[in-house]
Amino acid sequence: MHVVVATDGSQASLAAAEQFQQIADGREITEVTVVAVVSPYAAVPFANELPGRRNAEPTDISFQADAAAAVDVVAAVFDGWGPTVHRRVRSGSPAAEIIRAAEEVGAGLISLASGGRGLTATILLGTTAARVQHSAPCPVLVCRPTRTAPTGAAPPV
Amino acid sequence: MTTSAAAGSAERSELKRSITARQLYFYVVGDVLGSGIYVLIGLVAAAVGGAFWMAFLAGVAVAAVTGLAYAELVTKYPQAAGASLYVNKAFRRPVLTFFITICMLSANMAAVGSLASGFVRYFAGVVGMSEDAVIPTLLIALAFIAVITVINLIGISESVGLNVVLTFIELSGLLLIMVIGVIALVQGISDPAVLLEFSGEGSKAIAVVSGVSLAFFAMTGFENAANVAEETIDPSRAFPRALIGGMVTAGAVYVLVSLAAALAVPIETLSGNTLLEVIRADLLPVPVDVMLVVFGLIAMVAISNTALVTVVAQSRILYGMAREDVVPGVFAKVHPTRRSPYVALLFGVCVVGSLLVIGAVIQLTGSELDVVDRLATITVVFLLFIYALVIVACLRLRGSDETPDTYRASTPLLYLGIVGNLVVLVYTLYDDPGSLLWVAGLLALGVVLYLAERVSTGRRPPAAVTTETDGRA
């Protein structure tokens, strides 16, 4: 089975990737594609809160590079796990691009984090996770944020 | 932390871009059109007289030359930071880079304030409210920027399709004005000689220059195209075409709309007023009350679209500076669900709100102050300086980082652009020295942010901190 693991650069998305790996059976999964989506017209097209990339010099801010760095961090969760790991940075509307990525690789599962818990997530409908669930071509695993804020702990082996 | 791609099975990230040349073109046209002519036409007409289309033509020309420099630089450095990036590449002076970034931020904030006040004029025109009531107009302007900020917080303005639709709505309003102009010409409402009339007694050149600085505001916004440079497919081909094409389109529309407006209504009526006056001339075979509401709504959509993009640009600048540890890191905070920089957005709305409140207080003390005019002038002062420096940066960076694909702007035109920007800048400051106080105030705010960062982190100078990102991790 080919699994699409989405990251938005948040700690929650890293925790979700780790959760998915704990739940899933590595023997059943042949390939994993880690996807990040850059939204060109957004105020912040991609916000990478995971450790990783440093700007080479001031003003060299690159949202594509930030997204690639986040994909690298999340992909590292699956190091030595078994399945072949692919990395993709796409551009456009996050939910639509995650679904397109799943369609392109013929994914059997999409794994992502739901944005957050609490009032804002309830009121502001149309979060990426909700939209992906709504029109995904395959089952969707939505990892809920844990009660304690996830720290950037080293991924389990 | 294993951030390197260690696993043999893993391949490098593959990047996909999404913005086509056509979408970029609509982005430029939409962004440029909303800012100026809807808000400022009356002020430009008042400054120049019947020939005010010449001011728009001159403003368009100066801005388009600057656009050439942007097109060249974007094809060399397709990254999001725009002017700050180019100035940093060309001069390598952190202080200058910081200064230009603060100028850009200030220009955006003043522009949003001016757009908010312009929005109120159309709103007042549609609901039949007096524009002279200071407190109600202030409250509507504040509500406007609050709504724009909430839309950006939620992120519903990010759709590429929506952007194209809004651009068509903006264009439709201006086409309507052109149709009215043609009807006026055919019916012989005014003598076409009005198009060559100058108000005031001074020389014609001075009259045009006095309108140019405001007309220039109408062209601003094109530099936001650099924001999506990274996401543009085949940027070295798409960018020059979309950017210059968009600016020429907007410029042609501006000149035609000014001609139409001057033909349809007497300049005295237009002076200091909005395009609603052209609708009020009642030349269309549709009840004027209906048209006033329709056109008012179109104008409000146009202004909102530009304000949305400007607020996005402004929060992105703050986010970028926070990422480089030039301003406090709190500005890099993004909302966990919406992924929008909420601290930067809220800070922006506070600053713009303060500008509007200060304007209202000055009006209440009895001074004659046109908030739209003043804030537009401040924006233009900042931008003329930035644009001139960007052209200099473009010339300085000749010969470096060039590929066979790099677009190359005409050198004589670029020199002309520097002169054009500086002439308008000098005249604007000479004409309205009071705007310097506002400029200084906004710059001081930038310095305060910088000092706040220095105090909170201790000792690090800007040159050293730039190699670090995201201190939160």
C-alpha A157/C-alpha B123 separation (Å) is 61
Does A148 fall in a domain? no
Report the residue of B2, B4, B9 to disrupt the A interface, i.e. the one with the largest count of A CBs within 10 Å: B9
Residue A18: other Cβ atoms inside 10 A: 18
- Edge-to-edge strands of the sheet including A31-38? A140-143, A109-113, A2-7, A31-38, A84-91, B14-15
If you measure CA to CA, which chain B residue comes closest to A62? Answer: B79
Between residues B206 and B65, the one the model is more confident about: B65
Q: What is the average per-residue pLDDT within B270-292? A: 85
pLDDT interval class at A59 (50, 70, 90):
low
Q: What is the average per-residue pLDDT within B120-147? A: 88
Q: Compute the radius of gyration of chain B from its Cα atoms.
A: 22
Looking at the predicted structure, is the pLDDT value of residue B408 above 90?
no
Q: What is the average per-residue pLDDT within B150-177? A: 84
Q: Compute the radius of gyration of chain A from its Cα atoms.
A: 15
Contacts B163 to A, Cβ<8 Å: 41
Between residues B51 and B461, the one the model is more confident about: B51
Does B469 fall in a domain? no
Closest CA to B337 of A12, A99, A4: A12
pLDDT interval class at B467 (50, 70, 90):
very low
pLDDT at B372: 84
**In this complex, which of A44, A90, A127 lies closest to B334 when CB atoms are compared?**
A44
Q: What is the average per-residue pLDDT within B377-396? A: 92
Does B16 fall in a domain? no
Tokens of B293: 């509401």
Determine phi and psi for B440, rounding to 5 degrees.
Answer: -65, -40
In angstroms, the separation between the Cα of residue B10 and the nearest Cα of chain A is 5
Does B353 fall in a domain? yes
Residue window 385-424, chain B: list those with CB within 8 Å of chain A: none
Taking a C-beta distance cutoff of 8 angstroms, is the pair A65, B17 a contact?
A: no
pLDDT at A55: 59
Between residues B345 and B371, the one the model is more confident about: B345
Does A116 fall in a domain? yes
C-alpha B457/C-alpha B466 separation (Å) is 13
Q: What is the average per-residue pLDDT within B159-185? A: 87
Does A156 fall in a domain? no
Contacts B472 to A, Cβ<8 Å: 49
Phi-psi region of A140 (alpha: psi -120 to 50; beta: other; left: phi over 0): beta
Taking a C-beta distance cutoff of 8 angstroms, is the pair A145, A12 a contact?
A: yes
Looking at the predicted structure, is the pLDDT value of residue B140 above 90?
yes
pLDDT at B9: 39
Share of chain A above pLDDT 90, in %: 33
Residue window 201-240, chain B: list those with CB within 8 Å of chain A: 227-228, 230-231
Question: Domain range holding B29?
Answer: 21-460
Does A40 fall in a domain? yes
Looking at the predicted structure, is the pLDDT value of residue B127 above 80?
yes
Q: Does B158 touch chain A (CB under 8 A)?
A: yes
Query: Is B79 within 8 Å of A62 when comparing Cβ atoms?
Result: yes
Query: Is B340 within 8 Å of A68 when comparing Cβ atoms?
Result: no
pLDDT at A156: 45
Closest CA to B229 of A40, A66, A92, A39: A40
Share of chain B above pLDDT 70, in %: 92
Looking at the predicted structure, is the pLDDT value of residue B365 above 60?
yes
Per-residue H/E/C for A76-92: HCCCCCCCEEEEEEEEC
Contacts B466 to A, Cβ<8 Å: 55, 57-58
Does A13 fall in a domain? yes
Comparing B44-48, B195-199, B412-416, which segment has the lowest mean pLDDT?
B195-199
Question: Domain range holding A98?
Answer: 2-143
CATH of the domain at A29: 3.40.50.620
Does B9 fall in a domain? no
Burial B54-89 (b: 16+ CB within 10 A, else e): bbbbbbbbbbbbbbbbbbbbbbbbbbbbbbbbbbbb
Query: Is A48 within 8 Å of B470 when comparing Cβ atoms?
Result: yes
Residue given tokens 């799943």 in the structure block: A102
- pTM comes to 0.86
Does B78 fall in a domain? yes
Looking at the predicted structure, is the pLDDT value of residue B465 above 70?
no
| Tally of structural domains, chain A | 1
pLDDT at A152: 45
Comparing B173-177, B296-300, B402-406, which segment has the lowest mean pLDDT?
B402-406
pLDDT at B35: 67
Query: Is B15 within 8 Å of A75 when comparing Cβ atoms?
Result: no
In angstroms, the separation between the Cα of residue B446 and the nearest Cα of chain A is 17
Residue given tokens 């509307």 in the structure block: A93
| Tally of structural domains, chain B | 1
Beta-bridge mates of residue A32 = A3, A85
Give the DSSP letter of residue A56: S
pLDDT at A42: 85
pLDDT at B142: 95
Residue B459: other Cβ atoms inside 10 A: 6
Tens of pLDDT, residue by residue over B223-237, are 888 888 888 888 888
Contacts B80 to A, Cβ<8 Å: 45, 61-63
pLDDT at B30: 85
Query: Is A115 within 8 Å of B337 when comparing Cβ atoms?
Result: yes
Tens of pLDDT, residue by residue over B240-268, are 899 999 999 999 999 999 999 988 888 88
Q: Does B12 touch chain A (CB under 8 A)?
A: yes
Query: Is B160 within 8 Å of A92 when comparing Cβ atoms?
Result: yes
Looking at the predicted structure, is the pLDDT value of residue A147 above 70?
no
CATH of the domain at B222: 1.20.1740.10
Between residues B209 and B466, the one the model is more confident about: B209
**In this complex, which of B88, B231, B345 lies closest to A58 when CB atoms are compared?**
B88
Q: Does B354 touch chain A (CB under 8 A)?
A: no
In angstroms, the separation between the Cα of residue A138 and the nearest Cα of chain B is 23
Tens of pLDDT, residue by residue over B7-63, are 333 455 556 788 888 888 988 888 888 767 888 888 888 888 888 899 889 988 988
Query: Is B160 within 8 Å of A68 when comparing Cβ atoms?
Result: no
Does A37 fall in a domain? yes
**In this complex, which of B9, B16, B466 lies closest to A55 when CB atoms are compared?**
B466
In angstroms, the separation between the Cα of residue B38 and the nearest Cα of chain A is 23
pLDDT at B348: 92
